[in-house]
Structure 1
């Protein structure tokens, strides 16, 4: 059981979600007291979600997307749908915390320790590392106390949401019917009416292309463009110019030896008899019987663990749990394991999981990591610290130079040993492919009227944390409308295809009506057998239509427009049950159904909580910039 918890991938996902948490919790106080004013974006009973909290969540979501995707246009989140999604998430969190508090649900210290101990991001060579843990949190601007508080809240919310999701049951007949529908095979035939077949029937008016050009001039406008030179000052470039001496590394190591103390670790195997499976008395009796057998024949421990242990993660390995340090196991287990000598077998040890028999199989004594093993780590850390200090000093000087000497970037480049780079033609719109020049603020400065006229340096713009860019225009092309003669041919082609598409749809719908009246004289294509699990033989846009066709009376007919390609008619001629799924796939699909059902139950529960706590969203405040 311990091994299963420590290796559970879902735990890793919890950590990743928390490390880049898009919608941060705002402290316990925000759940239990009223703050804000008429600008509050939502109320949950007496609790407020303030405009400040909403904007903070919005910024954090932008940062999360930027970390995942690189440069992101903030306008992606500046839509009613995106803003509504963020406020709904904030409201749902508060609702769940309120309800969890009422139900006295609380994640224990033991659960926190087990969860953190099982996160691979905190491990070195498969073992939990306090140094790695603290370094990973520092990289995200978090402290262990802050992370553990967030983790406790998250686990508490999961307890409640999980309890709700697992409380629902899907009827066996419903599940079987859904699986049958997934494997059901439909034999369909197609009759395509391709757009190209109608092109010769299209007759454009003589002035159609010119009229379209005049009414849609923006479509034929070449946007303003510029070629740019720029310099990038970052903490990385500063760090690359720094050197750390052997003496500095040795001095730092001597002054921080406590960081390199590797605590004692122990390796154990165990046999677990779970209380919940047999009941406490029977479980204890079974554990005592197993212990008697082991006392008679200690070599049988591994075989008995494989046959009798209720810990699925370790039973197959003869009960082996690997090496672990203090704080990674539940307290009774840890105390017993650390009291044993190597190869010694414990008595019966009771924990929340049941009854354990523990065999100590190895000990890594506490030791100090030698300088040679940590030299590279120290060098990186010293360089990073020095680069951080130097960058803070350089940033101000860099900003001053590009401002005070606005006609060239060379002085700044020479002072900080940077390269003046040149771009290809770029536009005003942010484009991640343009690297540092994809930043919206920098582009706004470059394409400003003053920049275009004077071709002076922009201010130093922070495009990312610890990264400044200054740029200037080298060459500029204003926006210009393409001549009609240059685009006339493409406009005519566009209009003809649009008209041909309409003719194909019109003809297809007329033929469909005839088919439904029993007038079937079409030369259908070869039959295709498709199912909801495998519909690759028909166009994706037609899948939903094909599986909605009424199979009560065959043949059945349907038609689907294929945008930009024409129209397709379908004939459903036969229906048959699909092959039985193998057990593995059937179980996987049943799990998916269960997850969907659980999600629906949670949404229904949240909707009920919204009614109970009288949730109100201030639409006007939400839309305020």
Structure 2
């Protein structure tokens, strides 16, 4: 049908459904790792995953995260060994799943593929049509053609079918769900007595000996890390912007060679009435459906102006029947062929005979025709010039990036040769450490890969240029150490006041704990509530009336015998002793929340089943990991 196949509506700009299976499936592959440098970064079912694929996948994930997170995006999160490992694990799992899909001969029909594309809301026009030009442009921006995207989407929909079939079988055992909900619902009546730090702070006398002992015992807290002062040069796309020009002749030539890109194809609006019947239905069912369709067709021909009302009363397409059978704008290549051919063969206002498709019998009416239009050269000139300039800049950047990398490496005693050759400015930065500094934000020199190179043995011992490091898409940096300062320890006098404050708090906490533990011991012996405050209710589903750390301890306490007592250090406050005097269940359970909890447990069971299934596929596919995450960037492919 035209409307009920709406299984995925979200568009991840550029590449849709990169991987349907949730990321939790693809963790914990350490047992597969080995160290074979000649077979790509990994092999799955004998097929290797190249380092280029690994790096490309990392770039895609970074780009997608940058678009989704905006100003909150932090690229350093994606440069950790854990992030790189997760991406490689995803690629491995994707290959294993694809191998299984091929073995199982799973497929997606053309109709489902077409409707999934048509349902991408970002390309729906105000009149209901599909923005084919915008769709192609979005794919082109990602280096894809519609044919390439069709192939990827068809595969990913098959993956979605596979994962959905497995997770759909998951459910939460009622006894387990009820038990967990009972635990969440449980309420404990609690009384508190707090031994605050403020009571004991005046009792603490910190001596010089205590300060020195703390300083010596916690030397790592007062360490100043090794630092460097460095020179560096940055080469990025903006460097080449003024070096490329686009002429009017080039714009005209491009326009003439790509006229189809500036032509909007004819669009037709249509309505239909659908009488459903499967192609593999019995002969009797097929005959009955055709008979009903013929009767409806006769009614339409007798009352052609009442097509919408007849469709609303008779059409079995749930998506369009209530709107009088309106299909909106029908683009060529995006609908079932038999229906599309009929629509484009008729004149405006004309009604078809019976048209058969895999969904059943259709009666179609063409409600509007929008002729093909062509964008003029003058109108398109600005966009073409911008696109051509971008292409030239990309080519120029690639050319000069090689010059940048080679010069920085070949003439490594100084950054001046590469700066002079490419007209770059040599900049200076001080107090750089091995780890990125949050205060420097997204500065090119605050990149973890660049800092690793800058603190490398060759850079420090020989003061040579670092290799060119790509710190962001189309951004290269090379640096050179000017001054190296080894790690040092801050003088005791400099941190004396800081240490005295810490020791005072620690000693006050020790005194509070001693007093609290004595109260706890006495309360357990007597069982009374002397000295405790008014009772409050504590549960897992309500905002706690006591400190959250204390609430966790109270809810973990053994309440098989009441009253129950528990003592806990309350961060920043002191030491608390808590008396649990009563345990109860609410008179009216929250049925909606319990249902939600049961569903969540079912989802967790489904996720575990999917995890187990993918692990089995990995084993079947004979997965082998040949590198570790910190080797990303080394050439592991066979030449």
TM-score range, shorter chain: 0.7 to 0.9
Show the counterpart of 1:426. 432
Question: Are 2:330 and 2:340, in contact at CA under 8 Å, matched by a contact in 1?
Answer: no
Give the superposition deviation at 1:12: 4.4
User: Which of these residues, 580, 583, 586, is aligned with residue 576 of structure 1?
Assistant: 586
Distance 1:99 1:471, change over 3 A: closer
Give the superposition deviation at 1:157: 2.3
Distance 1:404 1:609, change over 3 A: closer
Question: Are 1:180 and 1:577, in contact at CA under 8 Å, matched by a contact in 2?
Answer: no
| SS class of match (1:576) | coil
| SS class of match (1:2) | coil
Q: Matches of 2:253 and 2:175 in 1, distance apart?
A: 72
Show the counterpart of 2:9. 9
| SS class of match (2:80) | helix
Show the counterpart of 2:165. 163
Show the counterpart of 1:363. 369
| SS class of match (2:585) | strand
1:150-189 matches, cutoff 5 A: 150-170=152-172
Give the superposition deviation at 1:179: 6.7
Question: Are 1:22 and 1:60, in contact at CA under 8 Å, matched by a contact in 2?
Answer: no
1:199-598 matches, cutoff 5 A: 199-200=201-202, 207-226=209-228, 228=230, 230-239=232-241, 242-272=244-274, 275=277, 294-295=300-301, 297-298=303-304, 300-302=306-308, 311=317, 313-315=319-321, 317-398=323-404, 409=416, 423=429, 425-431=431-437, 433-447=441-455, 460-471=468-479, 478-501=486-509, 518-524=527-533, 527-528=536-537, 532=541, 534-535=542-543, 539=547, 541=549, 561-563=569-571, 565-568=573-576, 569=578, 571=580, 573=582, 574-577=584-587, 592=600, 594-598=602-606
Structure 2 residues not aligned, in runs of 5+: 24-35, 66-72, 632-639
Show the counterpart of 2:120. 119
Q: Matches of 1:306 and 1:529 in 2, distance apart?
A: 57
Distance 1:4 1:201, change over 3 A: farther
| SS class of match (1:18) | coil
Question: Are 2:271 and 2:325, in contact at CA under 8 Å, matched by a contact in 1?
Answer: yes
Question: Are 2:133 and 2:264, in contact at CA under 8 Å, matched by a contact in 1?
Answer: no
Normalising to structure 1: TM-score of the pair? Answer: 0.75
Q: Matches of 2:420 and 2:621 in 1, distance apart?
A: 63
Q: Does 1:63 align with 2:67?
A: no
Question: Are 2:187 and 2:586, in contact at CA under 8 Å, matched by a contact in 1?
Answer: yes
Give the superposition deviation at 1:150: 3.4
Show the counterpart of 1:104. 105
Give the superposition deviation at 1:528: 4.9
Q: Matches of 2:157 and 2:458 in 1, distance apart?
A: 54
Compute the RMSD of aligned alpha carbons.
4.9
Give the superposition deviation at 1:78: 5.4
Show the counterpart of 2:29. none
Structure 1 residues not aligned, in runs of 5+: 24-35
Give the superposition deviation at 1:493: 2.8
Greater Cα shift, 372-381 or 600-609: 600-609
Question: Are 2:227 and 2:486, in contact at CA under 8 Å, matched by a contact in 1?
Answer: yes
Distance 1:290 1:598, change over 3 A: farther
| SS class of match (1:358) | strand
Q: Matches of 1:546 and 1:335 in 2, distance apart?
A: 71
Q: Matches of 1:414 and 1:590 in 2, distance apart?
A: 67
CA deviation vs aligned residue, 1:572-620 (integer Å, no higher than 9, x gap)? 74531557567xx898777655533432332344456567x496878x9
CA deviation vs aligned residue, 1:331-354 (integer Å, no higher than 9, x gap)? 233233333332334445444445
CA deviation vs aligned residue, 1:244-294 (integer Å, no higher than 9, x gap)? 344432232123212222222222334455558x99567666656655555
Distance 1:454 1:339, change over 3 A: same
Normalising to structure 2: TM-score of the pair? Answer: 0.74
User: Which of these residues, 74, 77, 81, is aligned with residue 81 of structure 2?
Assistant: 77
User: Which of these residues, 604, 607, 611, is aligned with residue 599 of structure 1?
Assistant: 607
Give the superposition deviation at 1:143: 5.2
| SS class of match (2:239) | helix
Q: Matches of 2:179 and 2:251 in 1, distance apart?
A: 68
Q: Matches of 1:37 and 1:473 in 2, distance apart?
A: 32
Show the counterpart of 2:27. none
Question: Are 1:446 and 1:471, in contact at CA under 8 Å, matched by a contact in 2?
Answer: yes
Question: Are 1:62 and 1:72, in contact at CA under 8 Å, matched by a contact in 2?
Answer: no
Q: Matches of 2:306 and 2:517 in 1, distance apart?
A: 77
Give the superposition deviation at 1:117: 3.8
Give the superposition deviation at 1:483: 0.2
Q: More relative contact order in 1 or in 2 (CA 8 Å, sep 6+)?
A: 2
Q: Matches of 2:9 and 2:257 in 1, distance apart?
A: 38
Q: Matches of 1:48 and 1:180 in 2, distance apart?
A: 50
Q: Matches of 2:191 and 2:41 in 1, distance apart?
A: 54
| SS class of match (1:244) | coil
Give the superposition deviation at 1:327: 1.9
Q: Matches of 2:253 and 2:504 in 1, distance apart?
A: 78
1:26-41 matches, cutoff 5 A: none
Alignment size in residue pairs? 599
CA deviation vs aligned residue, 1:196-251 (integer Å, no higher than 9, x gap)? 54545666675343233234433312224455554432223322554434443223
Greater Cα shift, 192-201 or 207-216: 192-201
